[in-house]
Structure formats: structure tokens, C-alpha cells
Amino acid sequence: MSVIWVCGVDEAGRGPLVGAVVAGAVVLDPSQPIEGLKDSKKLTPSRREYLYEQIMQKAKAWGIGEASPLEIDQINILQATMLAMRRAIEDLTTRLGAWPDQALIDGNRCPELPIAAQAIVKGDAKEPAISAASILAKVTRDRQMQILHERHPQYGFAQHMGYPTEAHFAALKAFGVCDEHRRSFAPVRKVLEAV
């Protein structure tokens, strides 16, 4: 009997005003269980980093996809999220050597895929494969924000990860918009319109 591969899919970075939206896709290997998988938002950064390495080593296959700030501005954040998810599954497929049989997607809608897909609200707390995908996406995006912080330290990206915080709003007001900001997002658009 053939094995059925189910991949979990989740994203990180829908809410921030800057940077890519990143998605992860993971097929777990039942013969190599990973202890402690849960919604990435409920883990400390150091725990996420540890589990990220475990997933990379023990998962049957994994993939990461993203949509750039420009793509977000062109097609909107929802469509960009779906695009990032599809790219993550395609990346996983190259490592798995075939499409998985099914995709379990965190949230209430699925990207267009050539395989069966099921949306699961709060799936990152219910399905270990989705939890694993959420960890890959979150760690990848946080690392991108650290790099962005080094490039543009005045915005404080390492502290707020690009989310719309008071500190981020103050930096936008003081320094204007950088190339990686999402111009279609209202707080960024307002700064651009005020120039």
C-alpha cells in the first residue's frame, strides 16, 4: 500500500507594513517524531530556532515560499499569501520528488493547487504539520527582518519585526518609507501621500 503524504502549510507576515509574506510547507516523517510542535506564536524565539533545526533534519520534506512587497502591492495581501503558500508547496514538492497527496492549510481558504486541500481555522494549534510549517515561516521571516534591520537600523525592525507598532509609526514619520515597505498598506500610503 502506498504511503499518503500530507503537508501542513502556514504563513508569517500578513500584518506587517514591511517585507515579504513567507509561507512554510512541511510533510512530517512518522518514524522521526518532533517533540514540542505548536503554533509558532506560542513559542519563544530560541525554542522556535531549535524546532526549526529539528524540522529541517527530521521532516520527510519541507518547503519555503514567499511573495515580495511589490507582489503584495500588486495583487493584495490575501492573494500574495496564497501565492507564497503555493510556492512553499512547490518547493516542498521538489524535495519530496512528487506532489503531496493532500495539503492542510492554516486559515479559512486554500490556494489553487493540483492536489486536495483543506483549510483549517487555527490549524497551527491542531495539526502538527501546520505547526511545523508555521515555525519554518516565522523563523525565516524573522531572519529576513534581522537582515533588514542591519540595512535600515533607524526603523527598529529587529524589535517590532515590521508590525504596525507606535515605534514603527514614529520611524515612518521621521525617516519616510524604505524600499521594502508595502506601499498599498494604509499607514505607509499615508506617509507617501504626505510627502
Nearest to 76 by CA among 85, 87, 67, 66: 67
Answer for the pair 72, 162: CB distance below 8 angstroms, yes or no. no
Average pLDDT over residues 52-75: 98
Instruction: State how beta strands 102-106 and 6-12 pair.
Output: parallel
- This prediction has a pTM of 0.95
State how far the Cα of 56 lies from the Cα of 34, in Å rounded to an integer.
Answer: 11
Is the Cβ–Cβ distance between 91 and 70 less than 8 Å?
no
- 66 strand-pairing partners: 22
CA distance linking residue 129 with residue 156, whole number of Å: 32
Provide the 8-state DSSP code for 154.
G
The model's pLDDT over 48-62, given as tens digits with 9 standing for 90+, comes to 999 999 999 999 999
Asked if residue 88 lies in contact with residue 99, where contact means CB atoms within 8 angstroms, the answer is no
Beta-ladder partners of 8:
26, 104
One DSSP character per residue, 69-100 reads HHHHHHH-HHHHHHHHHHHHHHHHHHHHTS--
Query: Is the confidence at residue 194, as pLDDT, over 90?
Result: no
- Say if residue 3's pLDDT is above 80: no
pLDDT value at residue 71: 98
With residues binned 3-state (H G I as helix, E B as strand, rest as coil), the percentages for the chain, rounded to 5, are: 50, 15, 35
pLDDT at 169: 95
Q: What is the pLDDT of residues 29-42, one digit of tens each?
A: 999 999 999 888 89
